[in-house]
Structure 1
Amino acid sequence: MNPLSVLGSSDFSLNIESFGLKGSDSVFLSTCRGAENLVLDTISERNPNIRKVALIPPFTCNTVIEPFLKHGYQVVSYSIDGALNVDLDKFREVLIATSAQVVLVHRYFGFDTLKDFEKIISEFSPKGIVFIEDRTQCLYSTFNQLPVDYIIGSIRKWAGLPDGGFAVCKTGVFTNKPHVYNEELERLKLEASYAKYEYLHKNSGDKQNFLDLFRQAEQQLDSETSYFKISPSSVVIQQNLDSSILKKKRRENYSFLYEGLKDSDILEFLMPKLTEVEIPLYFVMSVKGRNELQRYLQLHDIYAPIVWSKPEVYPDICKEVQNIYDSILCLPVDQRYDVDDMNRIIKCIKEYREYVNN
């Protein structure tokens, strides 16, 4: 089932400004990893003699690190505290000590964990340091855009798109934009989504079938060796996405969990209470015995992802970050759910507490 036939769109374009972002040029790609590769190629093109040392977040995923390694960079990390915030003085010390010339940062789970980072950019940009921000996790939050050289991000993390990422540059243009999309990835994702819909809503088909299709799609994505433009189906789905409902639902669900779990003695919140500018990606908490709670939730049909395992390239990280890798658990708050679902999650976690205490 192809969304193009249902929605009938012939305008296969997206506007980066619809995400509150601005730049001299932008491009929508298949993935954020592809966007990062495009940006690193552009940096090499514009700065052929750049020293290939990159400073990147200590709590992140392999797909953020891989493009740097592919481009021959040495990667080093900066420190964050237990609430995922950056200390500007410590960041400055690491940047000077490592002589890194490319810096990638990202804010976590919809919250501004890079407060006052403009000061670092204004201090080091005149020295030739190139700054990249990954906006994936705060795509719909409305705090200020950092004055970085490049912005990258994923849009498929927020809605049911087959693919979708983007790159933005502050000056100049991207000279190596992709002109073809990954047709096999699009086909697999659409077939998997349709099979899942038939199984869940029409009691038709086999669960293993759509799981296998999704697995094949992820393998197709992981095997990409070059970057592709975003698929037409993803453009159409994004064009028809009601972002106001997305934002409202996520905020409502997050706030409901916050109030319902704030007195729990088996977990700690990693992110604060919402203000007006945050749109959360997940509800994030730190849990002792994290794996046991995750399994208990799964038995009750609640999928709570860990998000990232520590990349092997980071053998030495600060104690605070190691604790995050070891204890983080994320609860879903996206627009597919409502407060009844959140209430079921809260009830399940309270039942788990009783279970482990008896």
Structure 2
Amino acid sequence: MYEIGSEFNYIEKEEARDLTAMYEGSGDVRFLRCGRDAIGYVCEDIENIALARAEAVNSHKEEKSANCRGALRYVALLPALCCDSMYRPFEVHGAEVMFYGINEDLSVDTDSLKKTIDDICSQGEDKPVIMVLTAVYYGITDISSLNSFIKSIDDGIYVIEDVTQGVLAPSTFDTDNADYIIGSIRKWMGVPDGAVAIRNNKVINNHIKGQNLLDTDDDHISDGIATDRFSIEPLKGENSFAAERSKALRMKTQYLQNGDKELKTRFRELLGHAEDTLTDGEDMYEISDESRRYLESVPVEKIVSTRNNNYDTLYELLEKSAHNNVYFKLFPKKKTGMPAFMLPVMIDTDRLNKDIADNTKNDNKKDNHISGNAGQESSCDKDHVIDRDGFERLLAGKGIYAPVLWPVSDEAAKVCPVSKDIADHILCFWIDQRYDRFDMVQTKECFEETIDELLRRQ
């Protein structure tokens, strides 16, 4: 239980840092409105480089293409476990989207990935521009080894590393292999908008030099595309997304202070409408002035340490739970050095429903025996069947929100049934800087209590 009263505890003074400066030295760093804008921004830069390459190649041919841009093809490979906000920006920018498989422990099925890349590369002169997006899942994925593996297959591939789930740890970014690094910042703190896009010039320029695209001054490739910065500028000025989210976040603060349910309805509507204004990376806006100012003074170390402590506490509590490896299972623990994003578990609804049905049958047998109807059995009431979404709603009723981050598309599910299974059974617990050890204990107790209630072990 919470302790209220008694002596004050010692609270360390929070040291604030300029979050925007943390990414310096990685290449050309831009701060945009959201993650999908960052992906769209990267796509457009790749398009411009690929176009410059095509024009340079065609300039040495007798028959020149009148429309290189229209003739180029793009293929984007993404992990099957991803949401539409990750793959839609590629589609908006004209790329064909394909998926590669992942394993049950959230590692990448490298055999599946290599086969897909080999099939694409075998197209000879018709080979498209290939982009591969890699993602850090909950701090588990060995992203550096994965990116290096992709480059070993074809070093002409553009690797885009999505660091959304590790965005506060720039030291973990793979600057040796990733051409671009993107991540959403607003998933980590209460800012109206915010994402980062990094053009890793060290890797990008290896491609450019290898294709002899440099002008004589060695600073630009054809059409004046610079080697040290993005080839386009984001849109500037206020936009409804940031404005509506700013208003909604302030309403939520008021709601948490006074519990006014009307405020909750209003801020949820505003947040939903704000998301609807996004254009899947077609109109790429820079970060709002309000969010940029906020990011210039952030207690980064405090945020990371609190998250890591909460993660370790909840992981240990769940590991010791009697329901662990029975009705749920934990994923491998996050890697050392990675900041904790959320704590995912897999809920085994099949096992849960089986035991619910067995308990119901046993209860019916007892009732029938008492009432003189021995020998008559009734089937399990359909109301007792529970799926992940239903379990999530039960937790929400207790004030514990465990969202599903990535509903998997039908096409991704065909390529990788494992991703569909994960998407159908994963629960992600919040462990961020808003909470402490007592909240982690409450989360674990509510989780177990929900399972027990379903099993009628109250």
Work out whether the TM-score is over 0.5: yes
* Residues 103, 44 of structure 1: alpha-carbon distance in 2 compared, 3 angstrom cutoff: same
* Residues 318, 276 of structure 1: alpha-carbon distance in 2 compared, 3 angstrom cutoff: closer
Q: Distance in 2 between matches of 1:117 and 1:314?
A: 20
Name the SS for the 2:317 alignment partner.
helix
Q: Distance in 2 between matches of 1:139 and 1:41?
A: 22
Q: Distance in 1 between matches of 2:102 and 2:150?
A: 17
- Contact between 1:27 and 1:177, CA under 8 Å: does it hold in 2? no
- Contact between 2:139 and 2:335, CA under 8 Å: does it hold in 1? no
**431, 434, 450: which is aligned to 1:352?**
450
Structure 2 match to 1:105: 134
Q: Shift of the alpha carbon at 1:179?
A: 4.4
* Residues 332, 191 of structure 1: alpha-carbon distance in 2 compared, 3 angstrom cutoff: same
- Contact between 1:285 and 1:329, CA under 8 Å: does it hold in 2? yes
- Contact between 1:111 and 1:138, CA under 8 Å: does it hold in 2? no
Structure 1 match to 2:433: 335
Structure 1 match to 2:162: 134
* Residues 252, 123 of structure 1: alpha-carbon distance in 2 compared, 3 angstrom cutoff: same
Structure 2 match to 1:39: 42
Give unpaired runs (5+ residues) of structure 1.
Answer: 1-12
Q: Distance in 1 between matches of 2:334 and 2:163?
A: 18
**27, 32, 38: which is aligned to 1:29?**
32
Name the SS for the 2:313 alignment partner.
helix
Q: Shift of the alpha carbon at 1:65?
A: 0.8
Name the SS for the 1:206 alignment partner.
helix
Equivalent runs, 1:173-192 vs 2, <5 Å: 173-192=229-248
Structure 2 match to 1:170: 200
* Residues 210, 59 of structure 1: alpha-carbon distance in 2 compared, 3 angstrom cutoff: same
- Contact between 2:102 and 2:418, CA under 8 Å: does it hold in 1? yes
Give unpaired runs (5+ residues) of structure 2.
Answer: 1-17, 55-71, 122-127, 202-226, 350-387
Structure 1 match to 2:327: 266
* Residues 331, 156 of structure 1: alpha-carbon distance in 2 compared, 3 angstrom cutoff: same
Equivalent runs, 1:1-358 vs 2, <5 Å: 15=20, 18-19=22-23, 22-48=25-51, 49=54, 50-99=72-121, 101-114=130-143, 116-126=145-155, 128-141=156-169, 142-146=171-175, 147-171=177-201, 172=227, 173-202=229-258, 206-221=263-278, 225-262=282-319, 263=321, 264=324, 265-270=326-331, 272-289=332-349, 290-358=388-456
Q: Shift of the alpha carbon at 1:322?
A: 1.8
Q: Distance in 2 between matches of 1:226 and 1:186?
A: 14
Q: Shift of the alpha carbon at 1:318?
A: 2.3
- Contact between 1:106 and 1:133, CA under 8 Å: does it hold in 2? yes
State the one-letter code of the partner of 1:64.
M
Instruction: After superposition, give the CA deviation of every residue in 1:281-321 in whole Å (9 maximum; x if it has no partner).
Output: 11001112322321111110111101111124435122322
Structure 2 match to 1:5: none
Q: Distance in 2 between matches of 1:284 and 1:192?
A: 27
CA RMSD of aligned residues (A): 2.2
Taking only the aligned residue pairs, the percentage that are identical comes to: 29
Q: Distance in 1 between matches of 2:433 and 2:19?
A: 21
Instruction: After superposition, give the CA deviation of every residue in 1:43-80 in whole Å (9 maximum; x if it has no partner).
Output: 11110255412211110010111111112222111111
* Residues 22, 110 of structure 1: alpha-carbon distance in 2 compared, 3 angstrom cutoff: farther
State the one-letter code of the partner of 1:135.
V
- Contact between 1:85 and 1:114, CA under 8 Å: does it hold in 2? no
Query: Aligned residue pairs: how many?
Result: 342
Q: Distance in 2 between matches of 1:197 and 1:318?
A: 41
- Contact between 2:114 and 2:153, CA under 8 Å: does it hold in 1? no
Q: Distance in 2 between matches of 1:109 and 1:276?
A: 12
State the one-letter code of the partner of 1:167.
A
Q: Distance in 2 between matches of 1:54 and 1:179?
A: 24
115-124 vs 88-97, which deviates more?
115-124
State the one-letter code of the partner of 1:323.
D
Structure 1 match to 2:15: none
* Residues 70, 222 of structure 1: alpha-carbon distance in 2 compared, 3 angstrom cutoff: closer
Q: Shift of the alpha carbon at 1:223?
A: 7.6
222-231 vs 52-61, which deviates more?
222-231
* Residues 182, 313 of structure 1: alpha-carbon distance in 2 compared, 3 angstrom cutoff: farther
State the one-letter code of the partner of 1:192.
A
Q: Distance in 1 between matches of 2:173 and 2:247?
A: 38
Q: Shift of the alpha carbon at 1:154?
A: 0.8
Name the SS for the 1:117 alignment partner.
helix
- Contact between 1:138 and 1:279, CA under 8 Å: does it hold in 2? yes
Structure 1 match to 2:59: none
* Residues 40, 223 of structure 1: alpha-carbon distance in 2 compared, 3 angstrom cutoff: closer
* Residues 348, 315 of structure 1: alpha-carbon distance in 2 compared, 3 angstrom cutoff: closer
